Amino acid sequence: MPTTPRQKVVVAPQPHPSTTVRAPLGVVALGLGLAAALICAVMVWAEPRPIGDLYVAFSAGRDILAGKLAKPDEWAFTTTGRVWFNQNYGTHLLHYLAYIWWGQWGIVGMKLFFVAAATAFVALAGRQRGASWAAALIAAGGVIAASRSYVDMRPNLTTLTLAPLMLWLFYLSRRRIHLIWAAVAVVVVWSNAHNGFVFSVALLMLWAGLRFLTLVASAGWATAWRRAWPLPVAAVAAVLLANFANPFTIATLSGPTGQPLSLGKVFEYILFPFTILAPAWKKLNEWQPMFPDHPTGFGTIWEFFIVTGTLAGLTVLRALSFVSRGGRLREHFKAEKVGMFLFDLVLGCTLVAMSYKARRFIPLTVILLGPLVAMQLDWLGRSSRPWVLPAVAVAMLAPVGHYAWRQYLFYRPDNPTMPRQTIFERMNGVLYMPTGAAQFIADNDISGRILNEWRWEGYLRWACPKVKVFLGGRAHQVYREETDALVTSILWYPPTSSQLLAAQDVHLVALSAEEKYGPLLTALIAKQWAQIYFDGRDTVLVDTQWPEGMDLARRCAEGSLAYPNPIAAALSRAVCMTTPALKIPPPKVFDAFLQANTVAPFPSNYRAIWTFYPHSPDGMMRLRSYFRQEFDRLQAMDANVADGMQTLFCRKAVAEYLLQASRQLGDAPETARWQKEIQRIQQQMDSVQKKWSLR
């Protein structure tokens, strides 16, 4: 029988089940990764960071354009002709120009640019290590978010931006070795922008050394030199250019001829950052160890442990997976991979050790670990686990999104915990700068030596350069350790403060009205000092035994000095009139506080009114009547507006004095009433803080 030929049946290939899921999930992961990176970068940009260094930058930039770089210092009277070794001058000049050209938005935009650039460089470096875009973006957003509490507008942000850029260039140079010269160029820029450049030099030497030695081990010296000679040459060039291509070394080498220069002096620029190791400066908050003996208030550490813990956990998991599949190290790890492993290991261990020794290195550590986190995340998200990356992105976005909402509330103009301010002012903590006090000093043409708060050094130089500061945030760059010890004695040992100030010919003091300075201010006033400026936050005192000081105190009491606003004028006049040296009768002082309270209610006014009014039964009745009227006035004020918390503070202060008056008068019902009222106000204040405060 004839047979019919069999027809060939073609079966269409069926996609692997994981493949059908991976493609759409990959797109989702990429979208979520991009969203995570963007939102994290914006969140870090919006993080408010009070920082006096910004005004150091403005003042330094102005001086640089005036030709004062690498010249004897003019800011302080304690520097006695020393040159400010300002290795941050490039960033300072950039900040100043941005502010002069574009105003406050120039600084706000510059911070956004730096944060976005750092995020992008981490992602690009992660890509060069083989991670997908989704993993690289998620890791970049995560490590940038982890550095949130350390990112502010000061030169350190330049280092946090240039460090991942260098890593990216290193990774690119594996295929195009001459890109190492781009890394050398980054070192040169870095060395003129922030004193963290010493890390860039060490980083380049580590990379070049390990890469070159790896090639030597696999191909021999001759081949290694022929193929990779730019690596050792670039390392040497980086050291020399970092040390010599700057105005300070040039000024040293072009100084008077005939004077021998030591090797230490010639290489002073590259060695200078290590002078921070002196005990006087190691006590600064940013140089405290990760686990200090006392609270520092500088940054947080839990994010550091999340990043390092994630990296360590994923690395161990990947190693166990490799071993369980029967992988052999000798076959898998060729010379190239061994070199990269050693670089990662040395860099990671060094960074962790640096962070343990000083908190200021925590953001640098988490950012530079970002590409390694991206590698491990990408490994976890491959093969049969395509849902991992979207899940990680969502897990990141949830808390970051919640915190971003808190930031939005913080920046709202009607935030009752803050006065009405611009975005720039809230972002950079201008509230904590002596804006009113500095304007008062400048408007009244006050000059001379001044004991100032540490963080105010730059602002005072910026706003009232005629005063010469005592000490400030430039620290080891220009000040002596002995100066720090002297200021410590003045601030924290009040009984001898006036004598020590007199010995330095200092007759002005500008400090915040914080409780920690209370003993010093009390001791100075007892020694014939007068408060000639007080706005509720900051104060300026003058020595009345100094002829010009007595004149300023009298003019303040008479109301003939210039003030930034009527509130500061009324408060300052009333406070100044309490100075014993002026011998003003208490009734006049009392009237001055009543007048100040009419201009604007303030807790210190109520304290003074309570103190200066007679506490006889009749006087107590009058006081209670006055405070009742004040309470009714304060109740009529809206506390749900900008700076509304101040109204609540005043209500609570008045209620507390009404409680004391009722107790002294033996009025039990009124005592119970005001006890309940105080509790109600405190609950309202707690509610406002919970809703509007970031912390």
* Chain segment 378-428, per-residue pLDDT in tens: 999 886 577 889 999 999 999 999 999 999 999 999 999 999 999 999 999
Burial class (CB in 10 A: 0-12, 13-18, 19+), 434: buried
pLDDT digits (tens, 9 = 90+) for 204-234: 999 999 999 988 988 889 998 999 999 999 9
Residues 630 and 573 in one domain: no
Are 574 and 564 in the same domain? yes
Domain end point (choices 387, 402, 417): 402
Averaged pLDDT score across all residues of the chain: 91
Tell whether 441 and 509 lie within a shared domain: yes
Q: Judge whether 58 lies within some domain.
A: no
Q: Can you give the pLDDT at residue 344? A: 95
In a domain, 412, yes or no: no
Tens of pLDDT, residues 135-173? 999 999 999 999 999 999 999 999 999 999 999 999 999
Check whether residue 280 and residue 364 sit in a common domain.
Answer: yes
Is pLDDT at 9 greater than 70 in this prediction? no
Number of domains in the chain: 3
pLDDT in tens, 275-293: 776 777 778 888 888 888 7
Last residue of a domain, one of 531, 561, 596: 596
Same domain for 273 and 260?
yes
Residue type, 127: R
pTM, two decimals, is: 0.92
Q: Are residues 77 and 90 in the same domain?
A: no
Residue 90 lies in a domain: yes
Domain stops at, among 596, 624, 654: 596
**pLDDT-based confidence at 125, cuts 50/70/90?**
very high
| Residue 60 is assigned to a structural domain of this protein | no
CA distances to 319, 324, 338, 387 from 316, in Å: 5, 12, 17, 21
Indicate whether 23 belongs to any domain: yes
561-584 pLDDT, tens digit each: 999 999 999 999 999 999 998 999
**Are 259 and 343 in the same domain?**
yes
What is Dmax (Cα atoms) for the chain?
137
Listed in sequence order, the DSSP H helices in 432-530 are 435-443, 457-463, 481-492, 497-503, 518-526
Look at residue 376 in the predicted model and tell me its pLDDT. 94
pLDDT band at 474 (very low <50, low <70, confident <90, very high): very high
375 in the same domain as 363 = yes
Both 590 and 619 in one domain: the answer is: no
| pLDDT range class, residue 10, cuts 50, 70, 90 | very low
Q: Which residues pair with 468 in a beta bridge?
A: 449
Residues 247 and 289 in one domain: yes
Residues 396 and 457 in one domain: no
Q: In whole angstroms, what is the distance from residue 536 CA to residue 533 CA?
A: 10
Q: What is the DSSP string of 11-39?
A: PPPPPPHHHHHHHHHHHHHHHHHHHHHHH
Same domain, residue pair 497 and 377: no
7 part of a folded domain: no
Name residues whose C-beta falls within 8 Å of residue 198's C-beta, 6 or more positions apart in sequence. Answer: 242, 270, 273, 274
Encode 588-609: b = buried (16+ Cβ within 10 Å), e = exposed.
Answer: ebbebbbebbebbbbbbbbebb
Q: How far apart are the first and last CA of the chain?
A: 92
Q: Supply the pLDDT for residue 318.
A: 86
Q: Rounded to whole angstroms, how far apart are CA atoms 298 and 233?
A: 40
Q: Is residue 208 part of a domain?
A: yes
- In-domain check, residue 178: yes
* Region of poorest pLDDT, from 312-326, 345-359, 466-480: 312-326
Query: In terms of DSSP bridges, do strands 448-452 and 467-468 run parallel, antiparallel, or are they unpaired?
Result: parallel
Full domain range(s) for residue 551: 70-84+433-596
